[in-house]
Amino acid sequence: MSANTALAEKYRNNFLKEIEEQVEMGDWVKMCMQCGVCSGSCPTNFQSAWEHPPQELFMMIRAGKREEVLTTTSMWNCTSCYNCIVRCPRKLPITHIMHGIAEYAHRIGKAPKMQATRFFSGLFWKNATKTGRVNELKLSMGLYFKDGFAQGVKNGMAMQSVALGLVKAGRLNVMELFGGHKCKDQKGIQAMLKKAYEIERSRKAAKMAG
Amino acid sequence: MADIKVAAYICKGCGLGERLDADALVKIAQKDGKVPLAKSHEFLCNADGVAMIKNDIANEGVTHIMIGACSRRAKTEAFFFPENAVARANLREGVIWIRPDTDEARETTQEMAEDYIRMGCAEVKAMTAPGGNTNTGTSKTLLVVGGGVTGMTTAIEASKTGYPVVLVEKTGALGGWAAKLYKRVPVHEPFKSPADTGVGDLVAQVLGDSNIKLYLNATVAKTDGAPGRFIVDIATESGATHTEDIGAIVQASGFTLYDMNKLPELGGGKSPNVVDQAGLEALAKAAAAGDGVIRRPSDNQPVKSVVFVQCAGQRDPSGTHLAYCSGVCCNTSIKQAMYFKDANPSVDTTIIYTDLRTPGNGEDFYRSAQEKGVIFTKGKVAQVVPNGATSTVKFHDLILDDTDAAVADVDLVVLATGQVANSGIDIFAAPKTEEEEAAVEVKPISILNLTYRQGKDVPQLKQGFTDSHFICFPYETRRTGIYTAGPVRRPMDIAQAREDATGAALKAIQALENAELGRAAHPRSGDLSFPKVRLEGCTQCKRCTVECPFGAIDEDEKRFPVFNESRCRRCGTCMGACPVRVISFENYSVNTVGAQIKAVDIPDEFSEKPRILILACENDAYPALDMAGMSRNEYSAYVRIIPIRCLGSVNTIWITDALNAGYDGVMLMGCKSGDEYQCHFVKGSELGRVRMSKIDDTLKTLNLESERVRDLEVAITDIERVPEMINKYAAELVAVGPSPFKGF
């Protein structure tokens, strides 16, 4: 049984309770009074309207719309500007709840696979933890080729002049493509991350077991 | 009236001396006003000026005083001569402050002042000093009808103030609605959980108070008389009738919940598991008496999920159900949801609302309910479908715009149905046909059984509530000395009802004290004048008895009017209505105004000085005109303004007289009438307007243009608008041309 089905089974008909127990800051969701100030304050909601703005997500959670909430791209659009937190009359930590829901959807495998924010987060994490340093060249290349080889070449060509400028200014080293620079104690970093993963896993397993 | 002696005093203070020729005004008073004593003074309202007037009263035998100074609304304490008839010519706010201080304007400004002096002298001669109504009673007992929270609070408050109380309760126990509650919405910090109702304490206070005479299982069989001298028959269950002398009455007859059987689509009456808020209180009380678990009425199983349907049969725009919001049901549902959550947090409680309205400190209470896990869903419930022991609540989710939203397997549905006033008989309802009469299931029962000519109960305002003067004073009804308090006046909760009760008790005490002294109640508090009727001239037309906004006038067997002065508010509507003009007040009558109209000097048609008469309501329009003066908002020098008690007191003879005398136009300034009325006498301006709507006939018989009379709505805030209206009308009249009646 996958983590998702196990949890869905456990919280049958009570998605709110699931969010409260599983999502970081999820116990705040019930306090929303549907004023909509968060949705009205969200700059990314204005830029490219969220499928479900924050207050609507909260209502969907209370209405038990589990599938729709966990698979939506909405909360992945949050850029942590904190406008909503500042303005919420009920003092809900909306930014943190958005990230909490996103993280939970990712954890149980419901998050949309190719959503740009989610993809970039994964790429960044892998990139940074491998050598203990961010390889900017590989990171941007990885992002260019997210939607296939042809699109990647196109993206690269579009950014050509910027890349050349960076190389000329000594801000970008083409040789980074081969290995690249590393931190001194790579093994120590790996050991530290391994321990951190272990702690997180045990904590979440305990949570899921409830 | 041979023994009157009039004195006129012209003030020269506040710039009057510089702007006006005071000596000329003194001469006008002597020559045109024909007063034997006319003086000017540098500063009339100071101690020296007032002493001069008092000295003339004492040593010169002055009985009638005309003061040409500021508005009658100013310096009322300085110019207070209760033994004398007093008229005031408004030279400050009405003349110099609304005219430009220029050489060109000087002549017309002086003419204006001279006319006001002539008018003041004419008015005061037609007056006598009001002596106060002598048909008074001395009862200081308060009758409280209704033994709920409002009634008990009124009784306790009045008793504590030192007035005896008679409390009449229809049922066999005190407490009313509040006694049926398990708990109440909290009124103290931290507003987080339902609180004790406090009814037991109130009941104990009433029962322990020897100043409160209690009638249980009793109703008011008859209420006769007037404030200070009501005679009330109280019928008890045994059939015995007790008669009590009463000074004033507080009606606290409360409310009934809107009948949920009228809401079959919401499951009302269809299943025992669909209850109204009172039904849930009963379940909660039963649970508290047992194991604390609220059970499903159909099979006694513990309730595991409950849905509260807000606005059930309320805020209905279609007109089928209640059109209004009762304002208490949101807090009540929150409280009731807590009954479940406080006992067992695992019970699912959902409140489906369209707008959550939580007045008072309800916001904290709302937040507390959210913390306790009550689910709030914004939606409009379409249908409650009972299905065996459970129900499905179908609703339109307004946030997600989901028209097929539903909560299934609900053990208990609670409908928030709202408050309907127990206001007795709607005395002004259109008479019903026999068929309609038969269709009415529950015949309304009179609460007060008044012997008044206009009907057995207090008039209702809107939606059956008995409020009457929501703008300026909430507890007033249109029956003097009878106050309504609590949910019969408007929907309210316990906290508001207790405040209401306290206010009404104090108003009732004020009314009975005023009644004993023969003085008027609100809004002419303390007025000693009262309507006097010359019955030998009366034609028994009944207009006064029908029109009186306060039901003060009854009829005897011969259909002559019987004035109950203590019930009168002194608006003068009867005086305006009377076609034979036999009703008058000592200081306000057809003559006092008529004499002023006739006293104005009308220049001939070649002078290009038109004359416009303004009859301005003293409650709103006249203060607005005064304030226009204070703001130095200028208006035409051709107007002559006479304050009137109410537009309802305007007798059409004044208009005919004015037009015949050669006035070019007449402006009537009264308060807004209709549903959103602002009239201090509720119906006065409306009745006045109905009367004036027939003035066109008069104009036709005089061969005059309809523009010559203008009816205007003026509010007290129209400080800028009123001068504009006057100037606009003056300009329009120039186009119409001078009145053909000048010079006759």
* Whether residue B553 is found in the same domain as residue B472: no
Please tell me the predicted confidence (pLDDT) of residue B48.
Answer: 96
Q: What is the C-alpha end-to-end distance of chain B, expressed in Å?
A: 29
| Residue B54 belongs to domain with CATH number | 3.40.50
Q: Do B375 and A90 touch (CB under 8 A)?
A: no
- CA B12, CA B41: separation in Å to the nearest integer? 6
* Whether residue B221 is found in the same domain as residue B122: no
- CA B384, CA B391: separation in Å to the nearest integer? 7
Q: How many CB atoms lie within 10 A of CB B717?
A: 12
Q: Do B375 and A60 touch (CB under 8 A)?
A: no
In Å, how far is A62's CA from the nearest CA of chain B? 7
Confirm whether B668 is domain-assigned: yes
Domains of chain B: total: 5
* Whether residue B701 is found in the same domain as residue B614: yes
Residues 295-324 of B with CB under 8 A from A: none
Confirm whether B158 is domain-assigned: yes
Please tell me the predicted confidence (pLDDT) of residue B694.
Answer: 87
Of B452, B456, B467, B483, nearest to B421 by C-alpha is: B467
- CA B257, CA B279: separation in Å to the nearest integer? 11
Residue B197: CA count within 13 A, CB half-sphere: 20
* Whether residue B409 is found in the same domain as residue B429: no
Per CB-CB distance under 8 Å, the chain A contacts of B366 are: 33
Please tell me the predicted confidence (pLDDT) of residue A46.
Answer: 77
Tell me: pLDDT of A102 over 60: yes
Confidence grade of residue A1 (pLDDT, cut at 50, 70, 90): low
Please tell me the predicted confidence (pLDDT) of residue B741.
Answer: 87
Give me the mean pLDDT over the B308-337 stretch: 96
CATH classification of A3-111, choosing from 1.10.1060.10, 2.102.10.10, 1.10.3430.10, 3.40.50.12780?
Answer: 1.10.1060.10
Instruction: Identify the residue among B192, B372, B376, B395 best suited for mutation to test binding to A, counting A beta carbons within 10 A and taking the highest.
Output: B376
- CA A80, CA B729: separation in Å to the nearest integer? 64
Give me the mean pLDDT over the B609-632 stretch: 96
SS3 B613: strand
**Conformation bin of residue B486: beta by default, left when phi > 0, alpha when psi is -120 to 50:** left
Is the Cβ–Cβ distance between B97 and B16 less than 8 Å? no
Of B260, B252, B150, B254, nearest to B206 by C-alpha is: B150
Query: For chain B, what is the mean pLDDT?
Result: 94
| Residue B435 belongs to domain with CATH number | 3.50.50.60
Tell me: pLDDT of A124 over 70: yes
Asked if B406 has any chain A CB less than 8 Å from its own CB, the reply is no
Where does a domain end: B374, B402, B419?
Answer: B419
In this predicted structure, which of B131-135, B145-149, B306-310, B723-727 has the lowest mean pLDDT?
B131-135
* Whether residue B262 is found in the same domain as residue B347: yes
* Whether residue B400 is found in the same domain as residue B461: no
Domain that holds residue B177: 142-254+422-516
| Residue A20: φ, ψ to 5° | -60, -40
Residues of A with CB under 8 A from a CB of B: 16, 30-31, 33-34, 55-56, 59-60, 62-63, 65, 90
Please tell me the predicted confidence (pLDDT) of residue A7.
Answer: 77
* Whether residue B264 is found in the same domain as residue B396: yes
Residue B581: CA count within 13 A, CB half-sphere: 12
| Residue B551 belongs to domain with CATH number | 3.30.70.20
Please tell me the predicted confidence (pLDDT) of residue B1.
Answer: 46
Token duo for residue A5? 């089905």
Residues 6+ apart with CB under 8 A from A90: A31, A32, A33, A35, B367
In Å, how far is A30's CA from the nearest CA of chain B? 6
Q: Give pLDDT tens digits for B6-32.
A: 999 999 999 999 999 999 999 999 999
Percent of chain A that is helix, strand, coil (3-state, to 5): 70, 0, 30
Confirm whether B573 is domain-assigned: yes
Q: Give pLDDT tens digits for B682-725.
A: 899 999 999 988 888 888 888 899 899 999 999 999 999 999 99
Q: Do B399 and A55 touch (CB under 8 A)?
A: yes
Q: Do B375 and A62 touch (CB under 8 A)?
A: yes
Asked if B378 has any chain A CB less than 8 Å from its own CB, the reply is yes
HEC letters along B282-346 = HHHHHHHHCCCCCECCCCCCECCEEEEECCCCCCCCCCCCCCCCCCCHHHHHHHHHHHHHHHCCC
Q: In angstroms, what CA-CA distances link B7 with B4, B10, B70?
A: 10, 10, 17
Instruction: Identify the residue among A27, A33, A65, A92 best suited for mutation to test binding to B, counting B beta carbons within 10 A and taking the highest.
Output: A33
**Extended strands (E) in B438-520:** 482-484
Residue B448: CA count within 13 A, CB half-sphere: 31
Domain ranges of chain A: 3-111, 116-200
Whether the bond between B431 and the residue before it is cis, its omega within 30 degrees of 0, is no
- CA B226, CA B217: separation in Å to the nearest integer? 25
In Å, how far is B400's CA from the nearest CA of chain A? 7
Cα angle: B702, vertex B704, B706; to 5 degrees: 125
Tell me: pLDDT of B663 over 60: yes
Per CB-CB distance under 8 Å, the chain A contacts of B367 are: 31, 90
* Whether residue B237 is found in the same domain as residue B270: no
ipTM field: 0.83
